Amino acid sequence: MDRITLDLTNATSDAIGPDHGISSEELAGLRDAALKAQAAVEARRGADLRWMDLPYAHEVHDEVLDYASSVAGRFKNVVVLGIGGSALGNTALHAALSSPFHDLAPPAGWPRLFVLDNVDPDLVGEWLDHFDPAETLFNVISKSGGTAETMSQFLLFRERLVEVLGEEGHREHLVVTTDAEKGILREIVQREGYQSFVVPDGVGGRFSVLSPVGLLSSALVGIDIKGVLAGAASMDEHCKQASFEENPALNYACLQWLMQEKKAKNVAVTFSYSHRLRALADWYAQLLAESIGKRTSRSGDDVHKGPTPVRAVGVTDQHSQVQLYVEGPFDKWFTLLSVTQPDHAVPLPSAYPDLEGAEYLAGRDLGELFTAEREGTKVALTEAGRPNVSIVFPRVDARSVGQYLMMMELAVAVMGELYDVDAFDQPGVEAGKIAAYALMGRAGYETRRGEIEGAGPTERKTI
């Protein structure tokens, strides 16, 4: 099978017992609710949930590829200026589908890719110390077009470009991805005449990886975006047609709900047994946290829902977190990302035939050790009664990564129905943005600034 699959054996009560595992009756008991949830999500396809259409927006894909070829060979660096949903997918695709060492030694003619998703002056300042904006294409990404972090970075880098290249010359170094009409960035695009792409309506930040938000930077570094989109479309088609029992997105959504609501597992660990897939766990952490972490239900009652996502990388975190996972509180469930076929064979030599502690590795492949470590962790988790499922990638390629992105977006949309929360808003994020605008003295936010300054304890407690 060339599709990623979901193996939920080790989350069942057969494998780990009824206290922590899900019985077939519990899963079957959720079948009707899951199908109803899926139908509710499907009913919004083509209406307000436009992220579902992204794999099929072939004209947009061609525009992205045309622009990427028009600037091919022109820049040494591509820098994404964006944050949250306007950055995590870019990093995830680059980490998964470019070489892990792409940015240290880019293939001839291809640029490096930096995703500067922070305004820490020690990050941005270091970038400026090491790289030349005049050799760089900046992709400014903001759905709202006003996020303070992204706007500040844009202002900074624009100024540097204008200093060196002038008002006219700087423009070809900027390409903006934002709303078609709303927001300050769109207004700036119109004034400056920058090249731009659109984040379509109905595509929230964390659901935007398959729009120009995630596709443009990927195309610029040579990632097979058509392969990613084909993978996403194939998963979408499969999930539309499959029965409940054969539907990985629906089953994953049900598992998440059952694990938290029935088995008290508040923590959802994505454990990537693939170095290249590790940033998919970061992308998913935002998708899950921002979509399901909500104060109110859809009818407005205070419910304070939401799992806490945690990310781990195998084998690295076996030597850091697995002790806790195997023996600590029973508050977690685990999703291992595993890869069947690595791209590289790395055989191990024999050096000390008389030393059994080294010789048992001789003639084996590093991939065998990696697999043994992953399976060993599964055994340890399972024997300790810790529910763990595996999302199995036949290999790490554009198609399988596209399938994963779509599967998780569909699963989280269904989770929203099961948890009865709005999976597509983010009032907590907006509250933080508003507080930052107020504290930075942005006009229109004076009242909020007064509220913040007048709130809290009068005496500080600092030790």
Is 290 one of the annotated active-site residues of the chain?
yes
Q: Which of 143, 158, 278, 374 binds ligand PA5 (CB under 6 A)?
A: 143
Least Å distance between CB 86 and ligand PA5? Answer: 4
The least distance separating ligand PA5 from the CB of residue 170, rounded to whole angstroms, comes to 22
For ligand PA5, the binding residue among 236, 282, 290, 417 (CB under 6 A) is 290
Q: Is 385 left (phi over 0), alpha (psi -120 to 50) or beta?
A: left
Cβ nearer to ligand PA5, comparing 381 with 429: 429
- Which among 325, 336, 324 has a CA at the least distance from the CA of 370? 336
Of the candidate spans 95-103, 204-212, 228-236, 337-345, the one that interacts with ligand PA5 by CB under 6 A turns out to be: 204-212
- Residues near 436 by beta carbon (within 8 Å), at least 6 away in sequence: 148
Residue 286: closest CA among 409, 149, 396, 177:
409
Helix axis angle, 248-261 to 31-42, nearest 10°: 120
**294 an active-site residue?**
no
d(CA 34, CA 27): 10
**Residue in this structure with the two tokens 């930077």, named with its chain if needed:** 217
C-beta closer to ligand PA5: residue 185 or 398: 185
Cβ atoms of 292 and 305 closer than 8 Å:
yes
CA nearest to 82, candidates 2, 141, 139: 141
Q: Per rule CB under 6 A, is residue 196 in the interface with ligand PA5?
A: no
Q: How far is CA 393 from CA 26, 45, 93, 434, in A?
A: 27, 27, 15, 40
Q: Which of 174, 426, 437, 438 binds ligand PA5 (CB under 6 A)?
A: 426
Binding residues for ligand PA5 restricted to 372-411, rule: CB under 6 A: none
Stretch in the footprint of ligand PA5 (CB under 6 A) among 83-91, 276-284, 343-351, 446-454: 83-91
Q: Does 248 bind ligand PA5 (CB under 6 A)?
A: no
Q: Look up residue 457 and give its amino acid.
A: P
Tell me how crowded residue 13 is: count the other CB atoms within 10 A of its CB: 17
The yes or no reply on residue 217 touching ligand PA5 (CB under 6 A) is no
Near ligand PA5 in 297-356, by CB under 6 A: none
| Closest chain position to ligand PA5 (CB) | 205
Binding flag, residue 83, ligand PA5 (CB under 6 A) = yes
Residue 438 CA to residue 435 CA, distance in Å, equals 5
Q: How many residues bind ligand PA5 (CB under 6 A)?
A: 15
Q: Of 130, 304, 319, 461, which is the active-site residue? A: 319
**Cα–Cα dist 345/366, whole Å:** 7
Please tell me the chain's helix, strand, coil percentages from 3-state DSSP, rounded to the nearest 5: 50, 15, 35
Quick one: which of 67, 87, 69 has its CA closest to 79? 87
Question: Judged by CB under 6 A, which stretch of 62-70, 72-80, 84-92, 380-388 contacts ligand PA5?
Answer: 84-92
147 binds ligand PA5 (CB under 6 A): yes
Residue 378 is among the residues annotated as catalytic for this protein: no
84 makes contact with ligand PA5 (CB under 6 A): yes
Q: Which of 76, 226, 275, 433 is flagged as catalytic?
A: 433
Give least dist CB 322 to ligand PA5, A: 30
Q: Shortest gap between Cβ of 6 and ligand PA5 (angstroms)?
A: 25
Q: How many CB atoms lie within 10 A of CB 330?
A: 14
| 211 is a site residue for ligand PA5 (CB under 6 A) | no
Which two tokens mark 363? 């003639």
Task: Tell me which of 90, 98, 136, 142 binds ligand PA5, using CB under 6 A.
Answer: 142
Among candidate residues 290, 294, 332, 378, the one labeled active-site is 290
Please state the closest distance from residue 182 (CB atom) to ligand PA5, in A.
10
How far is the CA of 247 from the CAs of 1, 32, 283, 413, 436, in angstroms? 15, 13, 22, 14, 42
Residue whose CB is less far from ligand PA5, 271 or 419 = 419
Using CB under 6 A as the binding rule, whether residue 90 contacts ligand PA5 is answered as: no
**In whole angstroms, what is the distance from residue 126 CA to residue 423 CA?**
37
Q: Are 290 and 425 in contact (CB under 8 A)?
A: no
CA distances from 184 to 75, 115, 143, 146, 158 (A): 27, 21, 10, 6, 15
Among 204, 222, 231, 306, binds ligand PA5 (CB under 6 A): 204
Contact call for residue 92 and ligand PA5 (CB under 6 A): no
Q: Which is nearer to ligand PA5, 44 or 433 (CB)?
A: 433
Closer to ligand PA5 by CB, 133 or 183: give it: 183
- Cβ proximity to ligand PA5, 222 vs 293, nearer residue: 293
| Span interacting with ligand PA5, options 20-28, 199-207, 231-239, 322-330, rule CB under 6 A | 199-207
Work out the widest C-alpha separation in the chain, in whole angstroms: 77
Active-site residues, by number, are 290, 319, 433
Which residues contact ligand PA5 (rule: CB under 6 A)? 83-86, 142-144, 147, 150, 204-206, 290, 426, 429
